Chain A
């Protein structure tokens, strides 16, 4: 069983890697053989060379995008969790406010971003607000469901032992909500990056900040396609790292007890 597990681990790394290398190789050969101009499709080698050559510009932009992403993520988590706590306090509050949370979720951010950018003077704050709006809904809905999905038997047990409201909240509701909360975090982390990039696109080159979306726009105007690809790769890698970070956090918090994080399935 251990060798099978080991083989599974190796396969998990090797199989996607093989696909990646094959695609890159095919891409490279295709560009070389058909002599595709680099302003249409650059070869992967050229993209990497550009990434290294333009690292100063790109890394500065990456930091700006990441700053917006993290600010948006943290505010989405804090505000979203607070809203979820508010929702579970009373049915009336939830019933009256939940439709508006949904409204926020279904309105395309590209449609309201220009308004926000006009209304909020500070461009950084405007971008963060846009990205927060994109990322907040999964935090609200997951945490609310989590705080509500308490084992009724355990609730009876707490009540029989005359637990106070605070004891029920801290010893029962919050631990019960954690798996849902971390599920929300995973989705929100990706959405805050997407939100940050989209908001920057909408703000366009007029914005003071020069994040990765700005680099993509400029590179597009200048037909500097290798740099466009390089910026794209940075966004993707940032998204993957963010996701892995959330997986690690959730493992850290739930690894001992929750079904979703157990590795030794018995």
Chain B
């Protein structure tokens, strides 16, 4: 699933092209026997925008957390830049091999101003104050939060808090950006705008992105590839390529191609939900 096989996407040439994330049969079973995710195989190449789409309980967040190293897999392994995940997180910040994670909530420190929150990863890494402040300014400009650096998180709207959270992820200049339903709590209008901004960032900063969502429209608009997942047990159903060049405009949202992609994905999800009826657990209320 390399970028080179899709010349129509016209992505910029990448010297370190190749597989960034390699999930090799990684699955998660909790000690009490609950199977959160059946073993998954997934390879994400450099500069791809991959969306994990599925209903609650399909293990999409679990998969993302395993990629981030926040959750150890109980089967298989996750490799980042051809190294086992745990080894990658141990070795601090080799250039070109940084990952950042954006949580479901903004997860900002309420006692710290926006500047302090965005600077946190730099502070923890011991970056000098002046250099850090300059990088914070850059990150805030990228997400359109210039002039809000002296605000406390509570003084910002939900959408702006999310922007601060994204700025904090970008401040370390990551190559791999993982987003776990980042705009799930926001209204439709704000979400649409932030989606467009994330896409723009991905394009301009040559990022590799894995994005978790339960919104079909969001998945189709953003992704180069959608990984459709199903619940009980959490598993990968199929991968769907979204064959639309970048940069994508708002016109794409109302195009025939957009609608047919949405239709294909929603049929896949409905089919999975129906076949889940054969599962003895599916019938019992949870």
Residues in chain A within 8 A of chain B (CB atoms): 151, 153-154, 156-163, 167, 171-172, 175, 178, 256-259, 262
Contact = CB atoms under 8 A, between A and B. Distances in A.
A259 B154 CA distance: 9
Q: Which of B89, B103, B105 has the most CB of A within 10 A?
A: B103
B9 to A, nearest CB: 30
B107 A178 contact: no
Contacts of A160: 68-70, 89, 101
A157 B99 CA distance: 12
B219 interface: no
A256 B68 CA distance: 33
A154 B120 CA distance: 11
Contact of A167 (B69, B92, B109, B124): B124
A163 B92 CA distance: 11
A160 B102 CA distance: 11
Contacts of B153: 257
Contact of A153 (B107, B110, B152): B107
Given A256-B152, A257-B152, A257-B154, A161 B111 contact: no
B13 interface: no
Contacts of A175: 109, 111-112
Contact of A157 (B107, B111, B154): B107
B121 interface: yes
Contacts, number: 51
Contacts of B154: 257, 259, 262
Q: Tell me whether chain A's interface is mostly helix, strand or loop, or mixed.
A: helix
Given A160-B68, A162-B124, A154 B109 contact: yes
21 contacts: A153-B105, A154-B107, A154-B109, A156-B70, A156-B101, A157-B101, A160-B68, A161-B124, A162-B89, A162-B92, A162-B125, A167-B124, A171-B120, A171-B124, A175-B109, A256-B111, A257-B152, A257-B154, A258-B111, A259-B154, A262-B154
Interface residues of B, number: 23
A65 B64 CA distance: 61
Given A160-B68, A162-B89, A167-B124, A178 B111 contact: yes
B239 to A, nearest CB: 27
B171 to A, nearest CB: 11
Given A151-B107, A161-B124, 18 more contacts: A157-B101, A157-B103, A157-B107, A158-B124, A160-B69, A161-B125, A161-B172, A162-B124, A162-B125, A163-B124, A171-B120, A171-B123, A172-B109, A175-B109, A256-B152, A257-B152, A258-B110, A259-B154
A263 to B, nearest CB: 13
Contacts of B69: 160
Interface string B112-127: 1000000011011100
B224 to A, nearest CB: 25
B124 A257 contact: no
Contacts of A178: 111
Contacts of A163: 124
A151 B109 CA distance: 9
Interface in B137-189: 152-154, 172
A231 B5 CA distance: 90
The 7 closest A-B pairs by CB, nearest first: A153-B107, A161-B124, A175-B111, A257-B111, A257-B110, A161-B121, A163-B124
Contacts of B172: 161
A151 B92 CA distance: 24
Contacts of B124: 158, 161-163, 167, 171
A5 to B, nearest CB: 19
A159 B123 CA distance: 13
Nearest to A175: B111
A157 B123 CA distance: 13
B274 to A, nearest CB: 35
A247 B70 CA distance: 40
Nearest to A174: B111
B111 A153 contact: no
